[in-house]
Chains A and B, each alone.
Chain A
Amino acid sequence: EVQLVESGGGLVQPGESLRLSCAGSGFNVNVNFMSWVRQAPGKGLEWVALIYSGGGMYYADSVKGRFIIFRDDSKNTVYLQMNSLRVEDTGLYYCATPVNGKDAFDMWGQGTMVTVSS
């Protein structure tokens, strides 16, 4: 079955770090590009970061300099290292990818919740 499974979310205090994982199955995560998209409670979707098959990385201005996206091809997994977390980083974090060669997100994981609170 083709799917994405996120993990690693939890409750942390402001200023702390967290690493999210997104494991792919049924396809290779290094073929096209992988993205993280987050959703604050009761709010809309916000794109966070992207990594291309060639390794190029892009970030939303809101996380630039604090978050790092990287990939382990041997584990078919993409990660989001989140440093210097802020209260406004709280939300459900999805990984998403275009499985069918488009540049639209036609596959999403179920999401992992990150709560930043003191």
Chain B
Amino acid sequence: SYVLTQPPSVSVPPGETAGISCGGNNVGSKSVHWYQQRPGQAPVLVIYYDRDRPSGIPERFSGSNSGNMATLTISRVEAGDEADYYCQVWDTSTTYGAVFGGGTKLTVL
């Protein structure tokens, strides 16, 4: 089955830029979605189809995807961005289904 690998944690000072990686075999050939999950809350979609933002998501959130790595970039990080972030793709091989990365805890220092 398909595997997505994320770093367990990323820490950045407020106002800086945070990059969260999501590695997978030829993940650039798939569409990657990103979710933000604050403590005690349900996940929220922040990026879909690699780089598109749903309405209501700040322009500070952006995404890219190429080769074996997708990246979620959060510019001008704010305290409110502190959360867990998950990448997700669809595995259309023999074991069809959604695949989530292990999640990355973003800490705003």
Chain A residues in the interface with B (C-beta under 8 A): 35, 37, 44-47, 50, 58-61, 94, 96, 100, 102-106, 108-111
A104-B88 contact given A44-B103, A50-B97, A60-B97, CB 8 Å threshold: yes
B3 to chain A, nearest CB (A): 13
A35 pairs with B100, CB closer than 8 A: no
| Residues in B neighbouring A100, C-beta threshold 8 A | 54
- In the complex, number of A-B residue pairs with CB atoms less than 8 Å apart: 58
Besides A45-B86, A50-B98, A106-B48, 14 new A-B residue pairs in contact (Cβ under 8 A), listed by A number: A37-B100, A44-B101, A45-B35, A47-B99, A50-B97, A58-B96, A94-B43, A102-B49, A103-B33, A104-B45, A105-B33, A105-B43, A105-B98, A108-B43
A45 to chain B, nearest CB (A): 4
B101 to chain A, nearest CB (A): 8
A61 pairs with B1, CB closer than 8 A: yes
B97 to chain A, nearest CB (A): 5
| Residues in A neighbouring B101, C-beta threshold 8 A | 44
A47 to B44, CA, bound (A): 15
A110 to chain B, nearest CB (A): 6
Interface bracket on B: 20 to 34
At the interface, yes or no: B66 with Cβ under 8 Å from chain A? no
A35 pairs with B43, CB closer than 8 A: no
* Majority-rule SS of B interface residues: strand
B49 pairs with A110, CB closer than 8 A: no
Interface residues of B in 27-86 (CB under 8 A from A): 31, 33, 35, 37, 42-45, 48-49, 54, 84, 86
A44 pairs with B88, CB closer than 8 A: no
Q: Which residue of B lies closest to A92 (CB)?
A: B42
| Residues in B neighbouring A46, C-beta threshold 8 A | 100
